[in-house]
Structure 1
Amino acid sequence: MKRSIQLVALLLTVFMGSCTGGKDKAAAEHVDAKPIVKLADVKARPVDQIQDYTATVEAEVKNNIAPSSPVRIDQIFVEVGDRVSKGQKLVQMDAANLKQTKLQLDNQEIEFNRIDELYKVGGASKSEWDASKMQLDVKKTAYKNLLENTSLQSPINGVVTARNYDNGDMYSGGEPVLVVEQITPVKLLINVSETYFTKVKKGTPVDVKLDVYGDEVFTGTINLIYPTIDATTRTFQVEIRLDNKDQRVRPGMFARATLNFGTAENVVVPDLAIVKQAGSGDRYVFVYKDGKVSYNKVELGRRMGTEYELKSGVPDNSQVVVAGQSRLVNGMEVEVEASSQPSSK
């Protein structure tokens, strides 16, 4: 009986050892197995260099209508939304100071005329004549300035877009009494990468879409190119003008402008090939060559449906991994899926 028990124990030991050995062998084979990947052939082709920019529509000219010093408002002649013409009277301020200054000016003119007559016959010196003339000029300037700040006129053809006071209010020097904006034409200001500085030309047509009008395209032109580059953002400003003759486009609307900088020969890859590195905004592509993959950092260009233009990072006529990237590391040997075997070159 004792020998039977020992025999059974021996058989169990041999059996367990064979099982463990089988598992170790399977694990070793599993470690040695190469990751299977799917490849896509990619090459360079002409790509339209189209860039989209966002901006807020601005008035061509914006004027704040206000006097130069605090004074009571006598009457405001317009409301928000009213169209006004250049030179049109918009606001009448209290005229008490103006009337007083006019009386002083009239008296000074009388005094100057008296000194002038005396000077002509030798009854007054040149210095007296000069002093009287200077006083008269000062009064004229003061009266002209006060006249302009008592009767406020529109300097442009435009629309009243803000009214901050009512009749009888005391203008305090803060917000303007009125705001008048010229909305024919309007403009957009966009920031363009310095890469395109030599390619942006004045007068170039630009397609503009406004969110409020959906996919409707408005045509603008490049009206102004700022001559300096912002050292912080490495961009320069470009002003786009829209004629806006029907005045459908209004200041404050959100706009998207599309600029076409011609074409360039760049590699185009499927979007499945792009890998985003965790914790950063960098993008990478696994490039297959001679049985191994390299982890190449790329610079993305345009997205075109299910493809991306690459500015750099992948050579022309390459093969890139489009499936199976999760297990890959730089320099790893891989096995290519049968349906995407590298073509013989």
Structure 2
Amino acid sequence: MKNRNKNNDMKKGFQLIALLAVAMLGSCSGGNDKAATEKVDEKPRVKLAEVTARPVEQIQEYTATVEAEVKNNIAPSSPVRIDRIWVEVGDRVAKGQKLVSMDAANLKQTKFQLDNQKIEFKRIDELYKVGGASKSEWDAAKMALDVKETAYNNLLENTSLLSPINGVVTARNYDNGDMYSGGQPVLVVEQITPVKLLINVSETYFTQVKKGSPVTVKLDVYGDEVFEGTISLVYPTIDAGTRTFPVEIKLANRDQKVRPGMFARATLNFGKKDNVVVPDLAIVKQAGAGDRYVYVYKDGKVSYNKVELGRRMGTEYELLSGVPDNSQVVVAGQAKLANGMEVEVEK
């Protein structure tokens, strides 16, 4: 009987210990739930920056390839053998300078025929003056002479090929003795004083681009060296597909440092405009898209505003739209944010 009571006391002791353990586990679990709830309720912490509108120079950069002012392909009008090429690539040539001599056999034959035609016309002309030839005979002789003179002058132009401009020889496609077949020109001569660039400008600036306005130009080959250009031509129509219009820029290029084919960057200044400027840390790029956003803080919450970027100025961006003047924007802590979320501002 005594042993039975002892066993009952032990059983009650074990039950009491078990109940205490369950109570302790429940107490710990409740504490974790409370901590988790507190963690969920904790607001994301952010840093803010005050942003305002200020005058910003409306500078736009355009890329282009340098082109010659004039480009001439030097070639005869029909296939003929090349007798001699008098210049090489890189040579500077003057207007009217002989560049190529073609085979002169046809020219000599035509000259002989022309001389005979002149003699024949002189004979008919003298007879006509004394009544020995009719007007129709005189007209026929004169026409034959004119035709032969035209043929001779055409051959003369195509036998001695002259430069039509002051320029530089930029290509030579044949050698002495080759047969010109009508494909590529014998030579290419380009005028590089001045040179020109052709850029396509957004229709937004159509009323602001004026002929004669200054343009700054940089060429990759010359690093940060600046060349002064001038708008020489503004095309009068807008391309409906691209919503742009062509603008031609000329560089005087008196020292001929700028050559056709060089890659150029032209900068146009369209004056100043008041736009909001934000730190570059405020700009958020949407994953998988090219859109940019800024979190704007107001009354304890943030809104996810899509923005249109203008110029980058060091560590700041000009905004063309998306953020009101005198706003507060998030510059740190964006990773945990969502549109309309309440936040805590770090001081």
Identical counterparts, % of pairs: 84
For residue 149 of structure 1, give the secondary structure of its aligned residue in structure 2: helix
Could you tell me how far apart the structure 2 residues matched to 1:234 and 1:270 are? 31
Tell me what 2:281 maps to: 272
Q: Which residue of 1 aligns with 2:7?
A: none
In the other structure, the counterpart of 1:342 is none
Aligned to 2:156: 147
Distance 1:22 1:136, change over 3 A: farther
Specify whether residues 77 and 19 from structure 1 end up closer, same or farther in structure 2 by C-alpha distance, changes over 3 A only.
same
**How far, CA to CA, are the matches of 1:161 and 1:151 in structure 2?**
19
- Find 1:39's aligned residue among 48, 55, 72: 48
1:281 aligns with 2:290: yes
Distance 1:10 1:134 in 2: 133
User: Residue 203 of structure 1 corresponds to which residue in structure 2?
Assistant: 212
1:125 and 1:172 map into 2 onto residues whose CA distance is 46
1:79 pairs, out of 71, 84, 88, with: 88
Q: Deviations over 1:146-189 (max 9, x none)?
A: 21111100000111111111100111222211111111111222
Q: 1:120 to 1:290 in 2, by over 3 A?
A: same
Post-superposition shift, 1:97? 1.8
Quick check: 1:235 aligned with 2:244? yes
The correspondence for 1:97, drawn from 106, 110, 131, is: 106
Alignment of structure 1 residues 28-67 onto 2, 5 Å: 28-67=37-76
User: Of the candidates 128, 131, 137, which is equivalent to residue 146 of structure 2?
Assistant: 137
- 1:174 corresponds to which of 151, 170, 183: 183
Question: For the residues of structure 1 that align with 2:34 and 2:290, how far apart are their CA atoms?
Answer: 42
1:21 corresponds to: 30
Equivalence for 1:8: 17
User: Which amino acid counterpart does residue 11 of structure 1 have in structure 2?
Assistant: L
Corresponding position: 1:165 with 2:174: yes
Q: Hey, what's the Cα distance between the residues in 2 that align with 1:126 and 1:32? A: 115
Q: Equivalents in 2 of 1:330, 1:201: separation in Å? A: 44
CA distance in 1, matches of 2:32, 2:58: 57
SS in 1 for 2:296: strand
Deviates more, 1:65-74 or 1:215-224: 215-224
Q: Quick one: structure 1 residues 127 and 279, their matched pair in 2 at CA, closer, same or farther if it must change by over 3 Å?
A: farther
TM-aligned CA distance change 1:4 to 1:96, over 3 Å: farther
Q: CA deviation at 1:11?
A: 3.0
Q: CA deviation at 1:316?
A: 0.8
Q: Deviations over 1:231-261 (max 9, x none)?
A: 2222222222111112222222222222111
CA gap of 1:15–1:124, structure 2 versus 1, over 3 A, is farther
SS in 2 for 1:202: coil
Tell me how far apart the structure 2 counterparts of residues 276 and 104 of structure 1 sit (CA, whole Å).
80
Residue of 189, 198, 202 corresponding to 1:189 = 198
Q: Which residue identity is paired with 1:74?
A: D
| Residues 111-153 of structure 1: per-residue CA shift (max 9 Å, x gap) | 4445555555666665555444444333322222221111100
Distance 2:231 2:28 in 1: 78
Q: Distance in 1 between matches of 2:159 and 2:67?
A: 29
Identify the residue that residue 78 of structure 2 maps to in structure 1.
69
Residue of structure 2 in register with 1:213 after alignment: 222
Correspondence for 1:343: none
What are the superposed Cα offsets for residues 185-208 of structure 1, whole Å, 9 maximum, x if unpaired?
112222221111111111112222
TM-score when normalising by structure 1: 0.91
Output the CA distance in 2 between the equivalents of 1:128 and 1:332: 104
Map of 1:225 onto structure 2: 234
Measured in 2, the distance between the counterparts of 1:124 and 1:30 equals 122
Opposite residue 303 of structure 2, the aligned amino acid is S
SS at match of 2:52: strand
Alpha-carbon offset, residue 288 of structure 1: 1.1
In the alignment, the residues of structure 2 paired with residue 173 and residue 32 of structure 1 have an alpha-carbon distance, to the nearest angstrom, of 83
Aligned equivalents of 1:232, 1:144: Cα separation in 2: 48
Letter paired with 1:188: L
What secondary structure is seen at the aligned counterpart in 2 of 1:201?
coil
3-state SS of 2:211 partner? coil
The offset of 1:98, in angstroms, is 1.7
Query: Against the structure 1 CA distance between its residues 65 and 3, is the aligned structure 2 distance closer, same or farther, given a 3 Å change threshold?
Result: same
Equivalent residue letter for 1:298: V
For 1:66 and 1:106, the matched residues in 2 are separated by: 27
Count of residues in Structure 1 that have an aligned counterpart in Structure 2: 338
In the alignment, residue 217 of structure 1 is paired with which amino acid? V
| Alignment RMSD (CA, Å) | 2.1
5+ residue gaps, structure 2 = 1-9
Equivalent position of 1:88 in the other structure: 97
Aligned counterparts of 1:10 and 1:35: Cα–Cα separation in 2: 41
User: 1:251 pairs with 247, 252, 260, which one?
Assistant: 260
* Residue from 249, 262, 265 that aligns with 2:271: 262
